[in-house]
């Protein structure tokens, strides 16, 4: 028996010309060039040099009170306290509310050492001040867990669970009834 060779029917693959790669780390532009011109080489983007000063570590915490929610950011600094991008003295007009915000910093002796940036929404002035106070206390606890005893003794780590009670149907408010007369 003789074997008959069958012709190769696979399609021929086109041969690509060898492309030389440049020795330096340059990027060759893919922009079309005129006929006969060599492609233009562009320098590769360089990585950013590390800065000499490390970025300050920010500590984030959340505080809530009634309907108010405060997102607090604590940074090492000179003691600046900003609430919604305003100085807290300007944002909270009552001195009692300003004292409530400073209280966690006073108890832990961090008043002139930490910058506080707070973003508050919802609720009223007292609720917002309470939310910022709790947020600062929680952030200080993340900064140094040894501060827990002082903050706990001052009652600054306990979230106040009291909320506004809803109005009931058939009544004027949550507890108040409509006036009733016998005759």
Domain limits, the chain: 59-153
In this prediction the pTM is 0.65
In contact, 133 and 142? CB cutoff 8 Å: no
pLDDT for 183 equals 82
pLDDT for 4 equals 63
pLDDT for 5 equals 63
Burial class, 160, CB count within 10 angstroms (exposed 0-12 / middle 13-18 / buried 19+): middle
Gyration radius from the chain CA atoms:
34
Count Cα atoms within 13 angstroms, Cβ side, for 167: 7
pLDDT for 131 equals 94
φ/ψ (deg, to 5) at 103: -55, -45
Q: What tokens does 126 get?
A: 């007292």
Give pLDDT < 50 ranges for the chain: none
Q: What does the angle CA 177 – CA 181 – CA 183 come to, to the nearest 5 degrees?
A: 165
In contact, 78 and 115? CB cutoff 8 Å: yes
pLDDT for 100 equals 92
Q: 59-153, what's its fold? A: Ribosomal Protein S5; domain 2 (3.30.230)
pLDDT for 104 equals 92
> Dihedral sign, CA of 145, 150, 156, 158?
positive
pLDDT for 77 equals 86
Q: What is the C-alpha to C-alpha distance for residues 162 and 34, in angstroms, rounded to an integer?
A: 76
Count Cα atoms within 13 angstroms, Cβ side, for 79: 9
Q: What is the C-alpha to C-alpha distance for residues 61 and 141, in angstroms, rounded to an integer?
A: 10
Q: What is the C-alpha to C-alpha distance for residues 80 and 175, in angstroms, rounded to an integer?
A: 43
pLDDT for 33 equals 57
């Amino acid at each position: 028996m003789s074997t008959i060779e069958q012709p190769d029917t696979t399609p021929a693959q086109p041969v690509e010309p060898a492309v030389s790669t440049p020795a330096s780390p340059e990027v060759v532009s893919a922009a079309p060039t005129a006929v006969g011109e060599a492609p233009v080489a562009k320098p590769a983007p360089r990585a950013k040099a590390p800065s000499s000063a490390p970025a300050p570590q920010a500590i984030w915490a959340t505080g809530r009170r009634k309907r108010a929610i405060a997102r607090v950011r604590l940074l090492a600094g000179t003691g600046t306290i900003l609430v919604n991008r305003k100085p807290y003295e300007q944002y909270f007009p009552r001195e009692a509310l300003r004292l409530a915000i400073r209280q966690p910093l006073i108890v832990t002796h961090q008043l002139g050492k930490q910058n506080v940036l707070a973003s508050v929404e919802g609720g009223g002035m007292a609720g917002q001040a309470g939310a910022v106070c709790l947020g600062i206390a929680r952030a200080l606890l993340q900064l140094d867990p040894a501060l827990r005893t002082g903050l706990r003794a001052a009652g600054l780590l306990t979230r106040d669970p009291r909320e506004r009670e809803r109005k009931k149907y058939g009544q004027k408010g949550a507890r108040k009834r409509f006036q009733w007369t016998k005759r």
